[in-house]
Amino acid sequence: MKEVKWIDADLIVTNKNQPRLYFDDEALADLALSIKYNGLLQPIVVRHMGDHYEIIAGERRLRACRLNGMDEVPCILMETSDLQSAELALIENIQRQDLSAIEEAKAYVNLMRNSSMTQEEVAKKIGKSQASVANKIRLLNLPEEIQQAVSSGVITERHGRALLSVEKEQQRNVYKTIINKGYNVKKTEEYIQQLKEPKEAKKKSSLHGITKHTKIAMNTIEQAVKMINDGGIKATVETRDDGDAVMMVVRIPKQ
């Protein structure tokens, strides 16, 4: 077991790669009260950085200790590189389920940028599927206002993923509608589908002389695209009459 060292709280600084961006004041006050009566059960993990110490894991605990006016806090010292520190901070927060989907997504992007890792390599490092990592990162394609709503819990991650299937210029309007009407995820998905149906119907009405087998083939492709969108990937299909054939172009983003 690593030695616990009591360190001056003023010498401990935030990790520049801290993935957690939002700290709930009420939850911090509750944690501070718990620490006051029960003590800090899990020491803060830090690394030595010149004349100060940088947090690897436990910023929320440190904030709660400071609320209690503690001059010194129990810490465990680790020797790590910048990259290892960022990885450990991310893994610790994910295991505690402390991060919002947006915070998690930004941490993944930051980790890939600093390490040149791929999405698949990041997924293996943190013990998640590549699809899970990709779905989180796609949320960063939403407007900042909607990202903030996901971060603060105004809407869920699944709401956000549903909004990704909407044209970018419509996302804010659809977001405002689901907020004003209090739509849950299922209602949101149904509402978005209703918005799409007139466009899809208009495209189909412009096609003539389509056989039953061709329609079945077209419906199969459209259903496949819908499944991709339901999985959080913004895929589109364009259908047009090309004389003696029907042309369907499916676009799936690389990232």
Residues in the chain: 255
> Taking a C-beta distance cutoff of 8 angstroms, is the pair 137, 110 a contact?
no
79 is catalytic: no
Write down the catalytic residue from 54, 59, 104, 189.
59
Helices 144-152, 171-181: inter-axial angle, 10-degree rounding: 30
- Amino acid in position 189: E
> Taking a C-beta distance cutoff of 8 angstroms, is the pair 162, 185 a contact?
yes
Degrees (nearest 5) of the Cα angle 71, 77, 82?
110
> Taking a C-beta distance cutoff of 8 angstroms, is the pair 248, 218 a contact?
yes
Write out the catalytic residue numbers.
Answer: 59
